[in-house]
């Protein structure tokens, strides 16, 4: 059931589970919880699910094993990744991607799982924002713009700036992304983009992440860049370098339709605590994001499945303590994902120190036969540990890595820090009473 997005304030709503955030994390979790005999409610600040779109929408094909995604939500499959650096010009490293990542219609993706959740009995409250959260003895009281909610369990799926996470004392570091949707001006028009290949563009001036070009089916492309600061100017620099003019100039010339721009924030760091008394965090709100790519859909799907199991057990057993949710949700998720998230964070930390010479050296190494073979065989968008361990045996890579790590003590510290950081795998030694 989707409730009206406008209207007068209403009486307080009592429910078993209240999910804050109707993007993919909240909708997928709601679809897993609904239809099990419990009342599931979802609050979403926007009046239309999926809008505005804030994601590049390219995901490892592993997602197809974690979520049942309709064919009409998949716009494209990617066979290759072309990796560019500022110095490489038009030359690039080509990586054949064995698992053929999917490019999703992100709006329809979000809406599909909302439809599934509502069909199973979940209730959605659109155009409503949370204004306050109060921990009560036997429930969580949530103040919202149209009324109050009283829930046995509260789940924050409300993104990098999560109000639920802030209530729990969790604040994330983040970078900002800007993306344009480019469509040719006529059916006969074309954009200089290979439909079967995505592009990643690295540059020391935006080394918080990278710029990207993703073919989104037909003749459409998603073009974006993420960085800590100066995103708009760096985006313009990248687009001009890649396409020969700004998007505005291309539009005025009649080459493309007026571009649609989107943007959003990407949390960067290792996952923080995501289990509390009667409160869970899932997705970006818990920093369950790959720091080297900014992607989080596979990780949030893993987390949502673990969270759903924990919540259903809690509702049956009437146990809602931090210790219970840490043991049933946080620990299982981190056991599966933490090693990979540490590696992604280390890669992110390393790239932040890359100079133009480092990019040139790595491009040369990546074109060696052994590295190309391993890229095709073991490279993984989500779990890169196996690939990294394999290429450490290549003398040229090992030699460059050693010189890079020893060049500056800060590099050594920053790259090793993710592996040494303490992440709360288990419940606190201080036992909290199950409620």
For 384-415, the pLDDT digits (tens) are: 666 776 677 678 888 898 999 999 999 999 99
Is it the case that residue 188 has pLDDT exceeding 60? no
For 206-216, the pLDDT digits (tens) are: 999 999 999 99
Same domain for 252 and 350?
Answer: no
In a domain, 388, yes or no: yes
Same domain for 141 and 12?
Answer: yes
| Backbone dihedral angles phi then psi of residue 339, each to the nearest 5 degrees | -60, -40
Same domain for 46 and 192?
Answer: no
Same domain for 198 and 294?
Answer: no
More confident residue, 93 or 349: 349
Total domain count, the chain: 3
Q: Compute the residue count for the chain.
A: 435
User: Residue 22 and residue 34: Cα distance in Å, rounded?
Assistant: 14
As a whole number, mean pLDDT of residues 263-271 equals: 94
pLDDT of residue 5: 52
In a domain, 355, yes or no: yes
Containing structural domain, residue 32: 2-73+105-172+270-338
Same domain for 233 and 280?
Answer: no
For 295-313, the pLDDT digits (tens) are: 999 999 999 999 999 999 9
In a domain, 218, yes or no: yes
In a domain, 256, yes or no: yes
In a domain, 35, yes or no: yes
Query: In angstroms, what CA-CA distances link 143 with 7, 207, 233?
Result: 17, 40, 39
As a whole number, mean pLDDT of residues 27-45 equals: 99
Residue 68 CB partners (closer than 8 Å, separation 6+): none
pLDDT of residue 240: 96
Same domain for 251 and 152?
Answer: no
As a whole number, mean pLDDT of residues 273-289 equals: 98
Same domain for 143 and 203?
Answer: no
More confident residue, 35 or 90: 35
Same domain for 195 and 314?
Answer: no
Same domain for 287 and 160?
Answer: yes
Same domain for 263 and 295?
Answer: no
Query: Would you place residue 381 in the very low, low, confident or very high pLDDT band (cuts 50, 70, 90)?
Result: low
pLDDT of residue 212: 97
Domain of 229: which CATH number? 3.30.9.10
Is it the case that residue 429 has pLDDT exceeding 50? no
pLDDT of residue 432: 44
For 128-180, the pLDDT digits (tens) are: 999 999 999 999 999 999 999 999 999 999 999 999 999 999 999 999 999 99
Domain of 279: which CATH number? 3.50.50.60
- DSSP β-ladder status, 93-96 and 130-135: unpaired
| Backbone dihedral angles phi then psi of residue 406, each to the nearest 5 degrees | -90, 0
More confident residue, 346 or 387: 346
Same domain for 285 and 367?
Answer: no
DSSP state of 254: T
Query: Would you place residue 7 in the very low, low, confident or very high pLDDT band (cuts 50, 70, 90)?
Result: low
Is it the case that residue 259 has pLDDT exceeding 50? yes
User: Residue 411 and residue 417: Cα distance in Å, rounded?
Assistant: 10
CB contact at 8 A, 419 and 411: no
Average predicted confidence (pLDDT) for the chain: 91
Is it the case that residue 430 has pLDDT exceeding 50? no
Query: Would you place residue 433 in the very low, low, confident or very high pLDDT band (cuts 50, 70, 90)?
Result: very low
Domain boundary among 338, 361, 381: 338
Cα dihedral 90, 92, 98, 102 in deg (nearest 10): -40
In a domain, 89, yes or no: no
Joined together, the tokens standing for residue 294 give 């900014």
Domain boundary among 278, 308, 338: 338
For 208-243, the pLDDT digits (tens) are: 999 999 999 878 999 999 999 999 999 999 999 999
In a domain, 126, yes or no: yes
pLDDT of residue 114: 98
In a domain, 382, yes or no: yes
Helix (H, G, I), strand (E, B) or coil at 431: coil
Same domain for 296 and 401?
Answer: no
**Which ranges constitute the DSSP H helices of 392-431?**
395-407, 409-420
Domain boundary among 267, 297, 319: 267
pLDDT of residue 344: 93
């Amino acid at each position: 059931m989707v409730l009206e997005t406008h209207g007068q304030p209403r009486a307080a709503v009592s429910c078993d589970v209240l999910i804050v955030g109707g993007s993919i994390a909240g909708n997928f979790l709601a679809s897993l919880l609904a239809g099990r005999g419990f009342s599931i409610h979802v609050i979403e600040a926007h009046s239309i699910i999926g809008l505005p779109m804030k994601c590049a929408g390219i995901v490892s094909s592993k997602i197809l094993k974690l979520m049942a995604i309709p064919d009409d939500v998949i716009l494209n499959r990617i066979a290759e990744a072309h990796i560019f650096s500022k110095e490489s010009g038009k030359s690039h490293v080509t990586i054949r991607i064995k698992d053929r990542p999917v490019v999703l219609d992100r709006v329809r993706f979000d809406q599909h799982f909302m439809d599934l959740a509502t069909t199973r009995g979940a209730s959605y409250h659109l155009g409503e924002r949370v204004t306050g959260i109060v921990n009560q003895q036997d429930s969580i009281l949530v103040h919202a713009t149209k009324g109050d909610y009283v829930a046995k369990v509260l789940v924050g799926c409300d993104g990098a700036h999560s109000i639920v996470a802030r209530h729990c004392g969790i604040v994330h570091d983040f970078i900002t992304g800007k993306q344009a949707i480019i469509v040719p001006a006529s059916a006969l028009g074309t954009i200089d983009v290979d439909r079967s290949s995505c592009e990643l563009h690295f540059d020391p001036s935006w080394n918080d992440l990278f710029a990207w070009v993703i073919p989104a089916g037909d003749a459409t492309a998603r073009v974006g860049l993420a960085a800590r600061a100066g995103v708009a100017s760096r985006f313009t620099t990248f687009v001009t370098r890649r396409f020969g003019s700004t998007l505005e100039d291309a539009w005025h010339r009649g080459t493309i339709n007026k571009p649609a721009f989107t943007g959003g924030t990407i949390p960067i760091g290792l996952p923080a605590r995501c289990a509390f008394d009667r409160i869970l965090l899932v997705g970006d709100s818990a920093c369950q994001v790959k720091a080297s790519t900014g992607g989080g859909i596979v990780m949030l799907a893993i987390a949502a499945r673990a969270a759903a199991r924990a919540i259903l057990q809690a509702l049956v057993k009437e146990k809602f303590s931090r210790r219970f949710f840490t043991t049933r949700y946080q620990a299982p998720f981190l056991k599966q994902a933490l090693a990979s998230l540490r590696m992604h964070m280390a890669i992110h930390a390393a790239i932040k120190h890359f100079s133009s010479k480092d990019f040139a050296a790595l491009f040369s190494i990546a074109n060696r036969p052994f590295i190309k073979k391993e890229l095709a065989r073991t490279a993984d968008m989500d779990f890169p540990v196996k690939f990294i361990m394999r290429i450490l045996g290549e003398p040229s890579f090992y030699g460059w890595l050693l010189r890079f790590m020893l060049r500056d003590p800060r590099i050594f510290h920053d790259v090793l820090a993710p592996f040494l950081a303490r992440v709360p795998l288990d419940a606190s030694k201080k036992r909290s009473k199950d409620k």
